[in-house]
């Protein structure tokens, strides 16, 4: 295990039903693993009571739990960016709030980062060692998107969209100021920019249990992912945008509220 503090950023959208249970399980797991950590839940403008449930759970959690909220939904990419902006860890973990991927898998990612001297380690549903249980339609879509990404960007990856990722914090502090996509294709833009800056990215096997009967990605979202992916290619290969843009952290586009737990360990 690499030394240092871990910041786990959990983007959440309409997760009121499960956020308390999943937050508690995440905190318990990280504590059992012996990590020095903080968990940052980012409510991405949910239309339900995600914010109230998460902030209410602070009464049961330690001071290393933080909850952020803004009122208008801006997308998962924006949520992880805002969580990263306030993170204090040496390592940043992206962990989806739905717990399709359990945080108990983190030691595998850290071992790969250490052994491979990697800057980024991402979970991959298509890794030969992965165990996945999710709809066949999603599996086909993942494989097809991987083929497109491989052809456009030459990334040494099989899968870019799995919701468990580990970064050295200094990588994201250089990368996020260059990222424009706020929604589903933000993952690929982060990885493309990091790769263009020379950072080493490795994949890790994951165990994934799909929690929802129906996914949240609609046909219109698929179109936007495709459109945003082509826009990333245009910025990278044609405009050379990422070479020239400054590394000044972008200001939030709407007010952000934050609450922090007060219970001592």
Do the domain assignments include residue 260? no
* Structural domain of 189: 5-249
Backbone angles phi, psi at 16, to 5 degrees: -55, -35
169-207 core/surface letters (b: 16 or more CB in 10 A; e: else): bebbbebbebbbbbbbbbbbbbbbbbbeeebebbbbbbb
Q: Is 262 domain-assigned? A: no
Distance CA 34, CA 95 (A): 18
* Closest residue by Cα to residue 3 from 89, 103, 128: 89
pLDDT tens-digit profile of 113-123? 999 999 999 99
What CATH number is given to the structural domain containing 221? Answer: 3.90.550.10
Task: Answer yes or no: is 114 within a domain.
Answer: yes
- 93 in Cβ contact with 15 (< 8 Å): no
Average pLDDT over all residues of the chain: 90
Note whether residue 255 is domain-resident: no
| pTM of the complete model | 0.92
Residue 257 lies in a domain: no
Residue 264 falls inside a structural domain: no
| Percentage above 70 pLDDT, the chain | 94
Measure the CA–CA gap between 36 and 30, rounded to whole angstroms.
8
Q: Which of 28, 9, 26, 64 is nearest to 264 (CA)?
A: 64
């Amino acid at each position: 295990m690499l030394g240092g503090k871990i910041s786990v950023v959990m983007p959440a959208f309409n997760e009121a039903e499960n956020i308390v249970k999943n937050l508690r399980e995440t905190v318990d797991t990280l504590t059992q693993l012996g990590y020095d950590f903080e968990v940052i839940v980012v409510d991405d403008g949910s239309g339900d009571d995600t914010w109230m449930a998460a902030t209410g759970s602070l009464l049961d959690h330690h001071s290393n739990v933080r909850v952020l909220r803004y009122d208008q939904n801006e997308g998962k990419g924006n949520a992880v960016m805002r969580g990263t902006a306030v993170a204090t860890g040496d390592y940043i973990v992206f962990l989806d709030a739905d717990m399709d991927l359990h945080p108990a898998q983190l030691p595998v990612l850290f071992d790969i980062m250490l052994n491979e001297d990697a800057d980024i380690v991402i979970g991959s549903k298509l890794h030969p060692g992965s165990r996945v249980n999710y709809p066949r339609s999603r599996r086909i879509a993942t494989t097809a998107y991987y083929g497109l990404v491989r052809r456009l960007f030459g990334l040494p990856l099989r899968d870019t969209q799995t919701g468990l990722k580990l970064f050295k914090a200094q990588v994201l502090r250089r990368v996020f100021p260059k990222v424009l996509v706020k929604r589903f294709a933000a993952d690929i833009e982060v990885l493309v920019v990091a790769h263009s800056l020379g950072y080493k990215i490795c994949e890790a096997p994951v165990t994934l249990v799909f929690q929802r009967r129906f996914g949240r990605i609609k046909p219109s979202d698929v179109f936007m992912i495709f459109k945003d992916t082509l826009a990333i290619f245009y910025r990278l290969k044609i405009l050379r945008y990422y070479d020239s843009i400054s590394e000044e952290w972008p200001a939030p586009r709407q007010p952000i509220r934050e609450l922090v737990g007060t219970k001592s360990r």
